[in-house]
Every structure is written in structure tokens, then in C-alpha cells.
Chains A and B, each alone.
Chain A
Amino acid sequence: MIDSSWLTEFPDMSRRELLAIRQTLDGAYRNFSRNYGESIENFFDPLLYFLVWFENLLIETPWWIVLAAIVGLVYAATRSWKLCTGVLTAFLAIGYFGMWEDTMRTLSIITVCTILSICIGIPIGILMARSDRAKSIITPLLDIMQTMPAFVYLIPVVMLLGIGRIPGVIAVVIYAIPPVIRLTNLGIRLVNKETLEAATAYGATPTQRLFGVQIPLAMPTIMAGINQTIMMALAMVVVASMIGVKGLGQPVLKSITNQYFTLGLLNGLAIVALAIIFDRVSQSYAKRAQKHLEGTENG
């Protein structure tokens, strides 16, 4: 009699074959990381130095100077005393509840991740907007980056670079960069066709078109992307703490394992406060920078 078990059970490959595949891939990657791990680590060294320097700067500078600098920046960006008061109150509360250092650590890593995401994301977004082929390649990659559980790509990163800040930054950037890429692309593609034609008709070069028309007109959309990127970076803080990134995420992790409800809540609230501050400040800065879009629409 013919074996008909495939009707009831999926005809999967044998465990031995699967094991072989896993061993081959794992082995190859292990070899790769042994051979190149160090040079890759060296490659990221400047970033690490900057991270450490920035973190130390925030922590070792007297708290009131840091606070004054933050409030000053917020005012410069938004010109709103209301927001400044809110930021001041939030940071005073954070400090009072003993979370100042962790908050500074988180602040530094989020700032670095955001700057990195913008520096890498906007050029990729521009490339995507200019070439349909690039778009068709990059879009599925972005889909993977956004849906793949963070832990899965943490494994190879940790294998390669060990535990610490750099793998944390890489994980956060991978998770947080898609919005700024997508929205840069969208923003540029949505630029009014006639306005762009006008630039061409008057003899603008491609560079003049990009920096004189496309990027300025795409700015509201790009700013929305940056805002989303910051929010997603903050959301990754707890996950990143699992691979040794210090900051507000670690106490939260500790609370989960030890069931310290209050500790978790306080640190969670501090993350929320940071998120709200980043969101409001970046949005009101964007709005202020796009003042010309207001005005009466008549005709």
C-alpha cells in the first residue's frame, strides 16, 4: 500500500535536513562574524565615541544647565512659552522622581538615532522618488523592516557586535527609519507637477529643482515622517534595553521580571513625557517653518 500520510499531514522536510540547513547557515554566519566582526566593530567606533561623549555630556553637565539648554532649544524651535513651561515641568518631575540620569541616557540615544535616521533616510527617500526601479526594490525592504519582529534582527547584530550601545542604535534605526524614507518619497512625488514644470521651463538644473523646489515643497510631509521616526525610536527603548542599552528601558525591564509595578509605571510615564515633548516640539517647529502655506485660499 502506498503511503498516503501526506493527505493528513504536511509533507515537510525531515528534521535532519532542516538541521543541516540551520547548521550551515549558522556556521557560515559565525565564521563571517569571527572574521569580520572586529573590522565592522571598528567601523562603528566613531559612532560609539560620539554616543558615549554625548551621553556623558548630558549626564555630567550640571542638571540645571542641561535643563536651561533644553528649554532654550524648545523656545528657539517653537516660540511658545506654553510648550516651554510644559517641558520644564516634565523634566523637573522626572528629576524629582530620580530618573534624571536614565532620561538623559535615553535622550542621547534617541537624538543620535533620529539624526542617523534622517541622514540616511532622506537621501534614500529622494532616490526612491526619482527612480521607480529603486522604489520597487526599497518598498518591500521597508515592509520587512517594519514587520519583522525586532528580536529577529537583534540576533545577528548581537552576534556580530556583541551587547551594547551600537547594536542598540542599529536595531532602533532599522525599526524607526522606514517612516522618514516613505514620507520623503511620498512628499517629493506629491510636489505640484506644474510648479516643477515651471522650474524646468525657466532652466533649472536637476539639483536646483531638488533643493529649490522638491525638498522645500515636500517639507511638511518629510517633517511628518521625521516625527513618526522619533516616536518609533522611543517605542524601541525598552526592546533595546534587552541588549544592554542603558536608559529608561532598563528599569522597565527590571520591573517586568520582578513585578515592580510603580517603578515600571514611573519610567513608562517618563518615556511618554519624552515622546510628547518630541512630538509637540517637532510639530510646532514644522508648522512655524511652513508659515507660507497658511494664508487665505481665494481664487
Chain B
Amino acid sequence: MDNTRETLIEIEGLYQIFGPDAKNVLPKVKAGASKEDILAETGHTIGLQDINLSVKRGEIFVIMGLSGSGKSTLIRHFNRLIDPTAGKIKVEGDDIMELPIKELTTFRRHKMAMVFQHFGLMPHRCVLDNVGYGLLIKGEKRAEWKPKAVDWLETVGLAGYEDQFPSQLSGGQQQRVGLARALCTDAEILLMDEAFSALDPLIRSEMQEQLIDLQENLQKTIIFITHDLDEALRLGDRIAVLKDGKLVQVGTPVDIVLKPEDEYVRAFAKDVNRARALTVQTIMTADTSKLEGISAKDVRDSFPADRNHAFVFNNNAYQGVLTKQQLDDMQDDDLLETALIKVPTVRRTNLLQDVIPLSLNTRFDLPVVNKQGELKGRVEASKLADVLSP
């Protein structure tokens, strides 16, 4: 993850209390009274308490929690569909809580677009008019936005459906329309409220893939809500775990799985299929020592003393694995080529599930290389086993 990106959205000290006299209940909540006490004493429900988070430009920020954890309430604060009881919501440094209603409307029209769990399409408008809705209410003429809407519809794979009504489409297709509608506005920030939760598993993973593909080109800032940790791990650059209206942990997918900060996250992380959630990056040993040469005498001196095998490179191209044993048996002028064992390379971004069969097929470590083929480290079978059997 790129840590140098600038912060785009910041939420500070956000509280949401539901009830007729929320402002007066707030001090008690701030003083630390529990949810149950507040409910029993005042009849108010605490939706969110003391939320502090920052979202960086261009990242997919996933907010994960079970139903009732307040995640859908939280995402509705980003564009003020719900107003908080207290707290600041800053976008590019400006507190949107201070926007008067007219500027708020302008802000919503230009800065953010939203995708809903149950699609939120207008049933009385055809697919094309739904996609162009964000531009239509800005007052743009149909002729102006039509080509754009048609383009986006094609991008999400629904070319030719322009004149259909939403009720004539399947759930997956409807959500594609919802996604096209959000992208059509050119808003920089995309709010996705359990966008794929209502879809069946196959369609869901298809949509996730599509989102990842789109994101590679678009580099939008996406706030994604889900109750599904697998989805969170797959999509998220960073994940925030929400429980009973409180943030429990914010971190990268690896942090969540390998370093859960409390029981709640641990329980979640336990059921995760780690082989599918983690990448080579998380378990590789950064070690760039390698052998460079074509004959035994080239490498005899540089063989690492504490290891019984090493990776051989020639002109920065990976050749194979050489064992200490074999090197000792060789004459100085023997070519290494004959003794090398072909062990495949892996990349940092490979999922562990793709690496497992490779690792099982050899007694040696797997070399990790980058795009240019340079050695970056190695994967040890024992570490792989450790991480897969917690």
C-alpha cells in the first residue's frame, strides 16, 4: 500500500444518537455510559460513537461490520443523507457539516456518487435515463449526456439494454445499472452501501472483479460497505471493522487477518480462507542474496554459508536452484546449467492458494521476483504452513 497518498476524507469525533433529545444525551455518551444504560435511562439509541477515520485519495476503503453495527448509518454521513449528532466530516479539508443546503446539493451532484444495496433505481425510468439521472438533475440536456450514459452502460456490459425498464432486468444487471449511474456522474468519491450483498455468490464475485478492473483505470476513492470479510479482504486497500457503532480496528487486509486487535476481529478472521485472502507479500522473507554466474567457480565463494540451496541468476534472469551438495560435487569448470533444479518463481501479489501447489511440488524455497524479474525474496514452506494453520 502506498502510504504517501494524501488524505481526501476525514471524519473526526462522529457521534450519532437516535432519539428526540439526542443533543442532551450526548455528554453522557461521551462520558462513557454504555449503550444499554443509555437506552434504559433515556430511551435513546446510540448509532455511532467516536468515529475517527481518514480515507486517502484513490484507495478502496472498506467498512466492515455485522448488521446493526452502524455501517450503513456511517456511510450515509459521507454525503449527509443522515446528519450526525456531533462531529466533523471533512472532504478535501472542508467540513461539509457547515455547508448550507444549496451548496450541499451542489456538493452531492459533483463530488460523490452512491450505489445502493437494493439498487435504488427509478422503476419508472428506462435504463438509459437511470444511468443519466445524476446528469439529468444537474440540468444537462438529454442529448448532451446520452452518449456518455451509453458508454458507461457498455463498460458495465449492458449495451443494448438502454430502453428496458429496471424491472425487466435481473438483480445483477440492475446493480450494473446502479454502478453505471454512479460512474456516469464523474464524481471522485464512490459510496457503495453493501452494493453486492443482494446478489448471488457467482454474480457477486463477477461484480467484484469488474470493480477491481474498473478501479485500475479510474483510481476513484471508494468507500465500500460490506458484512462479508472475504469481500472486504478482496477489495479493500484498507479495512475498518465496526462493532456496535464503534471502530474496533482499521488496517490493511493483512493486519486484520494476522494481527487482529481484539476478540471480535479475531473471531471474524478465524473463519477466513487465508489462502484466498493473503498474498505472498505477507509471508515472504525479504532476502535478495543470489548466485550470479554460469560455472561452478563463479559462485563457489558467494554461496550463503547458512543455507543448503540458493537461487542462480545470469544477467539478472532467473535460472534455477542450486544445492550446496551439488556445488561441492562439481569441478570448477563445470557449467551450473546441468545441475540446476527448475523451481518456478512467484510474484508478491500472488494469492497463497496459487502458491501452495508450487511449494508442495518442491523441497526448496520459492523465489519471489518482481515484474522485471529481479529477486525480491523467498517463500519458505514452513512459513506458508504456519500462516495457513493458525
Contact = CB atoms under 8 A, between A and B. Distances in A.
Interface of A: 192, 194-195, 197-205, 208, 212-213, 216-217, 219, 292-299
Contacts, number: 89
Contacts of B137: 199, 202-205, 208, 212
A299 B174 CA distance: 9
B79 interface: yes
Contact of B165 (A205, A213, A219, A292): A292
Nearest to A196: B120
B42 interface: no
B121 A203 contact: no
A290 to B, nearest CB: 8
Contacts of B133: 198-199, 202
Q: Taking each of A197, A203, A208, which has the highest tally of chain B beta carbons within 10 Å of its own beta carbon?
A: A203
Nearest to B108: A203
Given A198-B133, A201-B113, 17 more contacts: A197-B81, A198-B121, A199-B122, A201-B114, A202-B114, A203-B108, A204-B137, A205-B137, A208-B137, A213-B122, A216-B122, A217-B124, A295-B168, A296-B168, A297-B167, A299-B170, A299-B174
Given A194-B118, A293-B167, A202 B124 contact: no
11 contacts: A194-B116, A194-B117, A198-B122, A201-B108, A202-B108, A203-B110, A203-B134, A205-B137, A295-B168, A297-B167, A299-B170
A204 B113 CA distance: 12
Interface string B332-351: 00000000000000000000
Question: Range of interface residues on chain B?
Answer: 35 or more
Q: Nearest 6 CB-CB pairs, A to B?
A: A299-B171, A203-B109, A198-B120, A203-B108, A194-B120, A299-B170
A22 to B, nearest CB: 45
B172 interface: yes
Contacts of B199: 299
B138 interface: yes
A212 to B, nearest CB: 7
B124 A203 contact: no
A292 B126 CA distance: 8
Contacts of B134: 202-203
Interface of B: 76, 79, 81, 105-110, 112-114, 116-124, 126, 133-134, 137-138, 165, 167-174, 181, 185, 191, 199
A205 B136 CA distance: 12
A203 B133 CA distance: 10
Nearest to B114: A201
Given A194-B116, A198-B114, A203 B105 contact: yes
Q: Name which of B107, B113, B126 has the most chain A CB atoms within 10 A of its CB.
A: B113
Nearest to B130: A198
A201 B191 contact: yes
Contacts of B116: 194, 197-198
A202 B113 contact: yes
A297 B168 CA distance: 7
A294 B167 CA distance: 7
Contact of A295 (B113, B120, B122, B167): B167
B122 A195 contact: yes
B81 A201 contact: yes
Nearest to A208: B137
B312 to A, nearest CB: 55
A299 to B, nearest CB: 3
A286 B333 CA distance: 93
Contacts of A203: 105-110, 134, 137-138
Contacts of B117: 194
A298 B203 CA distance: 14
Contacts of B126: 292
A204 B185 CA distance: 13
A298 B121 contact: no
